[in-house]
Amino acid sequence: LKIGIINITGYAGAELARILSRHPEAQITTITGRSEAGKKLGQVFPHLSHLDMTIAPELGDSVDVVFSALPQVASAEAIVPLVRAGIPVVDISADFRLKSAEEYQQWYQTPHPAPDLLENSTYGLTELYRSNIKHSRLIANPGCYPTGAILALAPVIKEGLIEPDIVIDAKSGVSGAGRGLSLTTHFSEVNENVFAYAVEGHRHLPEITQELARLNVDFRPSPLFQPHLIPMTRGILTSCYATFVSGVFKDPKMAAKQVRDLYETFYNKERFVKVVSIPPQTKQTWGNNHCLIYPMVEPRTGRLVIISALDNLVKGAAGQAIQNMNLMLGLPDHLGLEGVAIYP
Amino acid sequence: LKIGIINITGYAGAELARILSRHPEAQITTITGRSEAGKKLGQVFPHLSHLDMTIAPELGDSVDVVFSALPQVASAEAIVPLVRAGIPVVDISADFRLKSAEEYQQWYQTPHPAPDLLENSTYGLTELYRSNIKHSRLIANPGCYPTGAILALAPVIKEGLIEPDIVIDAKSGVSGAGRGLSLTTHFSEVNENVFAYAVEGHRHLPEITQELARLNVDFRPSPLFQPHLIPMTRGILTSCYATFVSGVFKDPKMAAKQVRDLYETFYNKERFVKVVSIPPQTKQTWGNNHCLIYPMVEPRTGRLVIISALDNLVKGAAGQAIQNMNLMLGLPDHLGLEGVAIYP
Amino acid sequence: LKIGIINITGYAGAELARILSRHPEAQITTITGRSEAGKKLGQVFPHLSHLDMTIAPELGDSVDVVFSALPQVASAEAIVPLVRAGIPVVDISADFRLKSAEEYQQWYQTPHPAPDLLENSTYGLTELYRSNIKHSRLIANPGCYPTGAILALAPVIKEGLIEPDIVIDAKSGVSGAGRGLSLTTHFSEVNENVFAYAVEGHRHLPEITQELARLNVDFRPSPLFQPHLIPMTRGILTSCYATFVSGVFKDPKMAAKQVRDLYETFYNKERFVKVVSIPPQTKQTWGNNHCLIYPMVEPRTGRLVIISALDNLVKGAAGQAIQNMNLMLGLPDHLGLEGVAIYP
Amino acid sequence: LKIGIINITGYAGAELARILSRHPEAQITTITGRSEAGKKLGQVFPHLSHLDMTIAPELGDSVDVVFSALPQVASAEAIVPLVRAGIPVVDISADFRLKSAEEYQQWYQTPHPAPDLLENSTYGLTELYRSNIKHSRLIANPGCYPTGAILALAPVIKEGLIEPDIVIDAKSGVSGAGRGLSLTTHFSEVNENVFAYAVEGHRHLPEITQELARLNVDFRPSPLFQPHLIPMTRGILTSCYATFVSGVFKDPKMAAKQVRDLYETFYNKERFVKVVSIPPQTKQTWGNNHCLIYPMVEPRTGRLVIISALDNLVKGAAGQAIQNMNLMLGLPDHLGLEGVAIYP
């Protein structure tokens, strides 16, 4: 399989290259990067010098599948011709995640660059949409926060167990903000510090809301999503708080067990989504494609707490993108993704 | 003022010594430490070697006020004789925070060591109980998490604006776990990691519940409190989520402004509690006695979000203890506590 | 004393403001900042909002002393008129540190902006040049690395004990690189990482060489200075390695004791430079004006190792600048600088 | 290949398991751990739960090769019977590194547990002793610091280019201190801190000295080795400083090029030791078996500086151990070790 990566020079792009360079069926054959074209990949990312490739200004010919790690808008512009030419594409940007062009315009303050393709795109939360992904040619790879939040909440929403007023409190490492420079990712500002950001509304909120709504036609989610930045490089921990619909458990004492059973059954066959029995740590997913989920019923209030952990650059970006590529191309979805988390 | 510090060898004890060593009216005259008795203070804490003191096995005579930085149970045992002898005591342990000896036993799995003194103790959340503190001889200094949570929630609870099912999601630096060794405070385990802990119920929960209930006789709080450990040394960020009681705002559009006005008025005269207009960062309180509070109405759901930031060892422990000492002894409560946060 | 701060918007400027805001004799009356003029200081640095000042485009009139925290070249341009007008100035930039305009041009790749003033400037390593500083109107405040290296090496060089081929291996926190954005100060690049930089020659090298040479007319230092960046915000640890001149110790067994005695005598009366008996930790100087020095004779090789620790923004920048201001204005040099390190 | 791991419960043991679990020829069949016997491996290390193994009190029968990750003394006791029974063993402890039982006793303050086996053991610095390793049954796996220092210095020492008075200044992450608890690995003590330790002599010093001496019969090394602890989990950066023997370069201007050529030739065929052209960062080896080496001639002093970077738990422990196992068993030495560093 000949792979093209558009914009390899960001963290998601570099992570695609890291994982794909050990994928048994894939070969990266062409890579682009806006400002670094002409450089050797190893000059930009010394840890990837074993690939011995040069960053090109444009994708070369004859690729079997393309990943785009460009920011939104630029991504759509780059991949639309590929999609129209029938090349399978996994778009890591936000361009094809929201199904409504109006909502896209509202959140990204620009008209959608290719609204006619919205229908053709598939939201790539692999564990929930595996069969659609297999038949799609354009995958909208989920955001890092939505991946952690939706996987955490899907089982109880599908079953209609919780009320719509969910609280999603997420704590993210700094690499989620990318490789672009800003004062909020400047070491001395972030180290020994924690703060909430995007209090007026994070762009991942409409994505979360849209996807939670798709899970159950009778459910109109009203999530309150608050992200926080913490002083580490990789990882997102998402703590979700919800109230059970009154009467869904005949015996409230059995709620905890029933919820756990539900989660274990729901993710029973999944290799990358693990229902764990002690609260997960992001370090347990450092560098691999796992999402660890811990559901519990808080004993005093009887409310639901679900905590999920993942690596924002792997299951939250490049890893899930490769998982989706595997499915699109008829491969087992875990191919090339079996790395063990690096701990400590 | 002659000051005694019991158990100076933990982080709260060392922080008491740091701040008091620059207090214009206080002089530390006697210090104890269980395992380090006989050593110079500067051997244990080189940054305190300017105090040129020796750690004693027992408190010396004739102190005007005593701080106990012992763990619970040991603390009560050490200070009961002092309290009975009429010496003003600020207890940084949890021993006199819970008003119910039964609840104490349930959470600390041991009978309360001095239940008869519970009535005489005053909960030392300075901004809320200033007049009681002035007339007390035994201050139960609040826990670090309760300080951040209660200051954040007090205005809306006093006004009866919110429903009881509050979510309190807190993120703490590691120094809150003290100087005692454990795998969860081992550098390699905590660095590049975040996780929820005490999911079965943290000992600060009953303290929070008790104190929120005291603020309003008509309010039966049912807080869900979930602490998280993050890879930094100092600081607690607390994100509180609540639903407004239906109908409390005639015009929902005005809710945001009314809430902000309420907070600004409530803490108007406070030197250490600041209502801020952008989300606070724990680094903005690094090393000082401030608690920064940011109240907002989430625009899409209309729910209340309040975020507070403090340094767990200062406003969350030693600083507030000194603030309380100042009040007990008739001094202005800011004396010795005017250090500026160290940033970055 | 009315104080002006030019370019308060960097880390050294902010640190000047933090310390001076508690200085008993100083009042900051005018502050400037290039890109942030017109903003309230508290908007840029919330931890300084208690100063309630506005950043001006230009210094106001009638200041008694001025600090410049501008980068080189811009700093000289800003302060030359002040110096010519007789206003005492402490320049935190590198503009007046090197005595040779040629060397300045070689290292900074621009002609020196005011070579005629080089003679009038005083190198502000307080403990070594206290009497000169008292009579100067233009202080070239030392660089952070030179402060740690020169204080560590001065006693043995003055005594003529070591050979010229010194190795200075320094480890610095990231704040030394300032508040300006770059990939090497981007959180995700620096965290969990350590590397040597400026291997072709750091700009602090000629400053170190010049100052070591001044200490002893018979000494022609040939230091090899290698800085490293480590994942923390504040602090520099400097490890110096040197060989003793043959025969300087009659009894080699006594070398260790004689060296220690020399250091203790040399810094005997200093409040901020401490000769310590266990290896110092940068955390022991976090936020204060101390430089801790540990001299030792390595037992197997008989060579000299000296390790120093300081906070690069305090003794390595703003603190030493204020110490120098105190001296220039006839005040005790410790005024306003007695803060205790914040540990942990 | 059936693999046994003795004492899997430390960081080196866990890292062996992580890497071996993806090794194409190896299968871990028996694992022991002193205090955790009876537990599932996934309880101790959730990131290894995919192995689905139980920690045994003793090694099971019929293993093809054994790794010992016990501390010294205990390790020798455990492996001596295995070695005598002819089972290939890689010992990660220090027990068989020093060739002299006297020196062992001096540094470890206990008689050597099996001096008769010292002759049979092979020092496992793979790139230097590949042929010996192939024919050995007992590998003394090198310490983390010696690996970085010896690989950095070997080419110039073999060629007789440098004087004996080398300075080795190393900066290590905290995981090198293991999983055992101590105040110097307590998060709040290490974070935002850097310090030199083992100033009286680190146990890796005699190992470094012994191995540098073996490289050249005419060389009597007198290294000054000073380790430092820095606030990160993994990685060692070693900066080596040396003086060239007078006259070794006919044209001093060519020294830099000749040194670089020497290193590139020396490590030309090595897959894991890379001579790099910009100063290496430890993050570029995070989680993989590389050692990056940067040799340079400091332009002003003409002295040699060599900087090496590696992951202390991989090339500095478990990775090199597996590399050695591969050789002992006739496999290509890179098998199972091709993971790409995880960056950022």
Place of tokens 């994100």: B239
Task: Give yes or no for residue B241 having a pLDDT over 90.
Answer: yes
> Does the pLDDT of residue C251 top 90, yes or no?
no
Q: Is D117 helix (H, G, I), strand (E, B) or coil?
A: helix
- The CA-to-CA distance between both ends of chain D, in Å, stands at 34
Q: Tell me: pLDDT of C167 over 90.
A: yes
Phi then psi for C93, rounded to 5 degrees? -75, 180
Q: Are the beta carbons of C234 and D192 separated by less than 8 Å?
A: yes
Identify the pLDDT of residue C220: 98
Give A-chain residues touching B194 at CB under 8 angstroms: 171, 230, 232, 235, 237, 281-282
Beta-carbon count within 10 A of A158 CB = 14
Task: Please give the share of chain B, as a percent, with pLDDT higher than 90.
Answer: 97
Calpha distance C103→C109 (Å, rounded): 9
Distances (CA, A) of C192 to C129, C188, D309, D319: 39, 8, 13, 19
Distance between CA atoms of residues C297 and C255, nearest Å: 7
Cα–Cα separations (whole angstroms), residue C140 to A165, B325, D291:
60, 44, 42
Q: What is the mean pLDDT of residues B250-273?
A: 95
The active-site residue out of D140, D144, D153, D190 is D144
Residue matched to tokens 């158990």:
B7
Alpha-carbon distances of A292 from A152, A235, C23, rounded to whole Å: 9, 12, 52
pLDDT of residue A252: 79
Residues D73-116: tens digit of each pLDDT:
999 999 999 999 999 999 999 999 999 999 999 999 999 999 99
CB contact under 8 A, B339 and C339: yes
Q: What are the backbone angles phi and psi of residue D308, rounded to the nearest 5°?
A: -125, 150
The minimal CB distance from A46 to the residues D47, D276, D338 is found for D276
Catalytic residue among A69, A114, A144, A273: A144
Catalytic annotation, pick one of B31, B133, B144, B152 = B144
Question: Which helix H or strand E contains B167, and what residues bound it?
Answer: strand B167-172
Number of C-alpha atoms within 13 angstroms, CB side, residue C165? 16
Nearest to B23 by CA among C340, C331, C334, C273: C340
CA–CA separation, A207 and A213 (whole Å): 10
D21 closest CA partner among D57, D53, D44: D53
Residue in this structure with the two tokens 């342990």, named with its chain if needed: B93
Judge whether A310 and A319 are in contact, CB under 8 Å.
Answer: no
The pLDDT score that the predictor gives to residue D255 is 96
Of D134, D166, D172, D161, give the one whose Cα is nearest residue D150.
Answer: D166
DSSP A229-280: E-S-SS-EEEEEEE-BPTTS-SSGGGHHHHHHHHHHHHTTT-SSEEE-SS--
Q: Is the backbone peptide bond immediately before B344 cis, with ω within 30 degrees of 0? A: yes
Q: At what angle do helices A11-20 and A319-328 cross, to 10 degrees?
A: 50
d(CA D61, CA D78): 14
All residues of chain A having their beta carbon less than 8 Å from the beta carbon of residue D18 are: 340, 342-343
Dihedral over alpha carbons B310, B315, B317, B321 (to 10 degrees) = -170
0.95 surpassed by complex ipTM:
yes
Q: What is each CA distance from B322 to A224, B197, B325, C238, C338, in whole angstroms?
A: 38, 29, 5, 37, 19
**Residue C274 identity:** K
Res D34 pLDDT > 90: no
Contact B170, B225 (CB under 8 A): yes
D60 pLDDT higher than 90 = no
What percentage of chain B reaches a pLDDT higher than 70?
100
Q: How does residue B61 score in pLDDT terms, banded at 50, 70 and 90?
A: confident
- Could you tell me the pTM of the whole model? 0.98
Angstroms from C342 CA to nearest CA on chain B:
7
pLDDT at position B35:
86
DSSP state, residue B230: -
Chain centroid to CA D153 = 15
CB-based contact A22 D175, cutoff 8 Å: no
Are D159 and D262 in contact by the 8 Å Cβ rule? The answer is: yes
- Position A59 scores a pLDDT of 94
CA distances from D32 to B324, D14, D55, D59 (A): 53, 11, 5, 6
Q: What is the mean pLDDT of residues D155-171?
A: 98
Residue pair A237/A170 in contact by the 8 Å Cβ criterion: yes
Please report residues of A whose CB lies closer than 8 A to that of C191. 174, 187, 191, 231-233
> Could you report the per-residue pLDDT of D217-264, keeping only the tens digit for each?
999 999 999 999 999 999 999 999 999 999 999 887 899 999 999 999
Instruction: Return the structure tokens found at A187.
Output: 């070491």
Contact A344 D11 (CB under 8 A): yes
* pLDDT confidence of residue A35: 86
Which stretches within C6-143 are classed as H helix?
A: 11-20, 41-44, 74-84, 101-108, 130-134
Enumerate neighbours of A (3 or more CB pairs within 8 A). Answer: B, C, D
Beta-carbon-side half-sphere exposure of residue A110 (alpha carbons within 13 Å): 10
How far from the centroid of its chain's Cα atoms is residue B343's Cα?
A: 22
Predicted pLDDT at B209: 98
What's chain D's average pLDDT? 97
Residues with Cβ within 8 Å of residue A85, at least 6 apart in sequence: none
Residue at token pair 């969350």: B316
Whose CA is closest to B240, among B311, B294, B172? B294
Question: Is the bond leading into C344 cis (omega within 30 degrees of zero)?
Answer: yes
Average pLDDT over residues D253-276: 97
Tens digits of residue pLDDT in C300-309: 999 999 999 9
- Report the distance separating Cα D111 and Cα A237, nearest Å: 49
Residues 6+ away with beta carbon under 8 Å from B235: A192, A193, A194, B172, B173, B282, B283, B285, B286, B309, B310, B311, B312
Catalytic-residue membership of D240: no
- Tell me if A178 sits within 8 A of A7, measured CB to CB: no
Q: Which two tokens stand for residue D259?
A: 């040194």
Supply the DSSP string of A168-229, one letter for each residue. Answer: EEEEE-GGGG-SS--GGGBHHHHTT--EE--TT--THHHHHHHHHHHT-TT-----EEEEEE
Q: Which of A222, A281, A344 sits opposite B195 (nearest CB)?
A: A281
- Specify the pLDDT at position C35: 86
> Taking CB atoms and an 8 Å cut-off, how many pairs form between chains C and D?
152
Largest CA distance in chain C: 66
Tell me the residue ranges of DSSP E strands in D78-151: 89-91, 122-123, 138-140
Report the residue of A209, A281, A312 to disrupt the B interface, i.e. the one with the largest count of B CBs within 10 Å. A281
Q: Over the stretch A16-47, which tens digit does the pLDDT of each residue have?
A: 999 999 999 999 999 999 889 999 999 999 99
Structure tokens at A163: 């009320």
> Which of A38, A44, A115 lies closest to A80, judged by CA?
A115
Confidence of residue D269 (pLDDT cuts 50, 70, 90): very high
* Residues of chain A below pLDDT 50: none
Asked if the Cβ–Cβ distance from D191 to B187 is below 8 Å, we say yes
Tokens of D60: 């099971």
Q: Which token pair is C241?
A: 């390695």
Q: Under an 8 A CB cutoff, do B22 and C344 touch?
A: no
Distances (CA, A) of A307 to A238, A257, A304, C121: 5, 16, 10, 61
Of all residues in chain D, the one with the smallest CA distance to B44 is D183
Backbone angles phi, psi at D53, to 5 degrees: -120, 160
Give chain D positions within 8 Å (CB) of A285: 47
Is residue C338 exposed (0-12), middle (13-18) or buried (19+ Cβ within 10 Å)?
A: middle
Phi-psi region of D185 (alpha: psi -120 to 50; beta: other; left: phi over 0): alpha
Q: With CA atoms as reference, report the closest residue to B132 among B147, B143, B119.
A: B119
pLDDT of residue D94: 97
